[in-house]
Amino acid sequence: MSRNYKILATTIFILLIFIFFSYVLFNKIDEKKSDEEFSKGRVIGNLEVSVIDSENNKIKKDKIYNYLKDNKTNIIHFWASWCSTCVKENVSLKEYIKNKKDINLISVIFKDDISSIDFKNLKNLYNINIDDSNGFVALEFGASGVPESFIVDSNGKILKHIIGNISNGELS
Amino acid sequence: MRKLFLLFILAFFKLSSFASIQPVEFEDNTQLDLYNKIINNIKCVVCKAQSIVDSDTDFSRSMQTLIAEQIKEKKSEEEITSYITDRYGDKVLLNPPVDIKTYLLWFMPIGICLVLAVITFKNLKKLL
């Protein structure tokens, strides 16, 4: 009886350890989702950003809130030309938002050489391009990589955080 | 010979852990100490398993520069740390605070060790 009890106790102990590690492992897999949920509801600061004039690649300093529209879906999209996924995504995004007038797509170019970017080609895609050469805009939003996107309201409140590529389903 | 070999290996560890610190100039050593204290407690948000000192990613470098800027603006350690944890959560800290959410993290290893110690001591006779 005592031996059976010991076997039972050991089995339960091993089972508990197994459940604990499974829980940790599954939470790890869901880390992307929990990171996205964490940003929701936070209000971003009205920080000064470097806005690129697409005609002559000149930069002017302005507050980010000045570019958030009240009646549109503001999508702040972090990308870089050195990130091949981002470049491919630009093509699919262009296709998707072609007939959508209610989207205000703001591009934040993360740590990139902006002189190498063809802004004329991007003109129909992004409403504004922001140069984030020191990465401070990405840190203010709480981004942890590119491509990454944030849907914000006109008061700077984060409504949705998308890590990785934006799928068409997520936008609609 | 063994000691020499150990010293040789340790020297490499020292080099690697200071490999990606951005050269920053501060007004005094207090600011420098604060900077070193903070950057050694922040985890890289891309690679997760390293501190921003050991990591060489763009995000870690930006984080180092941002912390340096905030120290120069005379912000306190709490203000700087909470700026980062507000955006990335407590899990970005290598030394997370002990609260209800982290009790398991802090005390589970001790608990497991205690259980194992009790089991071992109870069965010590059999083992010997």
ipTM, two decimals, is 0.80
Are B63 and B122 members of one domain? no
Cβ–Cβ gap A145/B59 under 8 Å: yes
B2-31 confidence digits (pLDDT tens):
777 777 777 666 555 555 566 788 888 999
Q: What is the pTM of this model?
A: 0.78
Are B43 and B88 members of one domain? yes
Domain that holds residue B121: 98-128
* Residue B3 maps to a domain: no
Q: What percent of chain A has pLDDT over 90?
A: 52
Mutate to test the interface with A, among B88, B123, B126 (most CBs of A within 10 A): B88
Are B111 and B69 members of one domain? no
* Residue B33 maps to a domain: yes
- Assess contact for B72 and B31: CB atoms under 8 A: yes
Q: Which residues of B touch A38 (CB under 8 A)?
A: 88-89
Q: What span, in angstroms and rounded, lies between the C-alpha atoms of A21 and A15?
A: 10
Q: Which residues of A touch B87 (CB under 8 A)?
A: 39, 42, 139-142
For residue B60, the model assigns a pLDDT of: 94
- Eight-state DSSP code of residue A59: E
Higher pLDDT, B110 or A21: B110
B29-77 confidence digits (pLDDT tens):
999 999 999 999 999 998 878 899 999 999 999 999 999 999 999 999 9
The shortest C-alpha distance from A99 to chain B (Å) reads: 34
**Does B123 score more than 70 pLDDT?**
yes
Are B69 and B102 members of one domain? no
Mutate to test the interface with A, among B62, B91, B115, B120 (most CBs of A within 10 A): B62
Are B28 and B59 members of one domain? yes
* Residue B55 maps to a domain: yes
Are B38 and B55 members of one domain? yes
Listed residue (A126, A130, A37) closest to A89, CA to CA:
A126
* Residue B44 maps to a domain: yes
* Residue B14 maps to a domain: no
Q: What span, in angstroms and rounded, lies between the C-alpha atoms of A83 and A112?
A: 10
Average pLDDT score, chain A: 87
- Assess contact for A166 and A85: CB atoms under 8 A: no
- Assess contact for B43 and B92: CB atoms under 8 A: yes
A59-109 confidence digits (pLDDT tens):
899 999 999 999 999 999 999 999 999 998 888 888 888 778 899 999 999
Are B85 and B33 members of one domain? yes
- The average pLDDT across A144-167 equals 92
Are B30 and B87 members of one domain? yes
Tell me if chain A has a CB within 8 Å of the CB of B46.
Answer: yes
**Does B93 score more than 80 pLDDT?**
yes
State both tokens at A68.
């958030």
For residue B21, the model assigns a pLDDT of: 61
Tell me if chain A has a CB within 8 Å of the CB of B86.
Answer: yes
| Backbone phi, psi, residue B104, to 5° | -60, -45
Are B85 and B30 members of one domain? yes
Cβ–Cβ gap B63/A111 under 8 Å: no
The count of domains in chain B is 2
B117 confidence band (pLDDT: 50, 70, 90): very high
Q: What span, in angstroms and rounded, lies between the C-alpha atoms of B30 and B38?
A: 12
Tell me if chain B has a CB within 8 Å of the CB of A139.
Answer: yes
Q: Which residues of B touch A161 (CB under 8 A)?
A: none
- The average pLDDT across A106-113 equals 94
